[in-house]
A = this chain, B = another copy of it.
Amino acid sequence: MTFSVAAETIAAAPVSIPATVAVSGPAAATEKSRCAGCAARSKGLCAALPAEELPELTAASRTINLLSSTPVVLEGAEADSVFTVVSGMLKLYKTLPDGRQQITGFATAGDVIGLAVGEVYAYTAETVTASTVCRAPRTTLHRLMERRPAVQGRLLAMTSVELSAAQDQILLLGCKTAVERVASFLLALSRRSRPLPDGSPSVFLPMPKVDIGAYLGLRPETLSRVLRKLEDAGAITRLTNDRIRLDDAAALEATATLAA
């Protein structure tokens, strides 16, 4: 069963899946174009859309509010929809038959989820925090791409950036030690988030430690020990469980052994 069924039939959703909080689709969209006011309008694929395409997209898409730990797409399921993250955070992962999981990435506002090469999704996507996503049929995306080369160009650019990030992750997993992996991860995240009021860079880690470990190819125990070591060395401070301040970014850079 794909999540989309649950999204549209809230009452019938199995209790094992946390309930959708709200859905707004064609029925709820009394305004001319819900997309025009969307928080993700200027991000991801939608940034490549001229205003005149919005009404059709509004008609074809649905905005879905999700609690945390809710699957959005399932690895191996028929890939009939694509999703844009409006807010929140999701984890994308692949699973081996015996249950081992590898997180391939985290998706935030503007990221597109569910693009598939073949007929089925290549990974599972699940919310880490309460999130809002926008679902559109795959066919709508294809039609938009045919009509608007800019959309295809934008998708190519986004895919290329993702590919580059995936190759960086291959380097991390294939070559780097535990400390190097964690330092690289913290620095990469800090580049995408704004610094604290006092100017020092920080990172927000809403996901459990076991997920960060599954992303970095480490066990949560190892992650915990590495963070402690970095904290003892004065490179970071753990402000709360989900917020880390980078006190010595230069030291982190040095231990991250970034690619030339």
* Chain A contact residues, CB within 8 Å of chain B: 75-76, 94-98, 100-102, 104, 115, 117, 122-123, 145-146, 149, 152-153, 155-157, 159-164, 166-171, 173-176, 214, 216-217, 257-260
Listed by A's residue number, 12 A-B pairs whose Cβ atoms lie within 8 Å are A96-B171, A96-B257, A102-B174, A117-B160, A117-B161, A117-B164, A122-B167, A163-B163, A163-B166, A170-B170, A170-B173, A174-B214
Within the oligomer, what is the number of copies of this chain?
2
Best-buried of A115, A117, A174 by chain B (most CB within 10 Å): A174
Q: Tell whether, in the assembled complex, residue A160 and residue B159 are in contact, meaning their CB atoms are under 8 Å apart.
A: yes
Once the chains bind, are B170 and A102 in contact (CB under 8 Å)?
A: yes
Do A95 and B259 contact each other (CB < 8 Å), given the known contacts A102-B171, A152-B152?
yes
Q: Which residues of B contact A217 (CB under 8 A)?
A: 173-175
Residue of B152, B174, B260 touching A76 (CB-CB under 8 A): B260
Q: Which 5 A-B residue pairs are closest in the complex by CB-CB distance?
A: A166-B166, A173-B173, A174-B217, A102-B174, A102-B171
The interface residues of chain B lying within 8 Å CB-to-CB of A146 are 149
Contact of A170 (CB < 8 Å), options: B155, B169, B175, B260: B169
* Given A152-B149, A167-B166, A260 and B102 contact (CB-CB distance below 8 Å): no
For residue A102, which residues in chain B have a CB less than 8 angstroms away from its CB? 170-171, 174-175
Contacts known (A149-B152, A152-B153, A257-B98); A170 close to B76, Cβ less than 8 A: no
> When A163-B166, A166-B166, A174-B102 are in contact, do A96 and B260 touch as well, CB less than 8 Å?
yes
Cross-chain contact of A94 among B162, B171, B216 (Cβ < 8 A): B171
Q: Are A104 and B152 in contact (CB under 8 A)?
A: no
Given known contacts A149-B152, A163-B159, is B96 in contact with A175 (CB within 8 Å)?
A: yes
Q: In the complex the two chains form, what is the Cα distance from A76 to B149 in whole Å? A: 30
CA of A176 to CA of B98, assembled, Å: 11
- Contact A170 to B95, CB < 8 A, known contacts A75-B260, A164-B117, A260-B76: no
A157: which B residues are within 8 A, CB to CB?
A: 117
Can you name the residue of chain B whose Cβ is closest to the Cβ of A149?
B149
**Chain B's nearest CB lies how many Å from the CB of A158?**
10
Q: Report yes or no: B117 in contact with A167, Cβ–Cβ below 8 A.
A: no
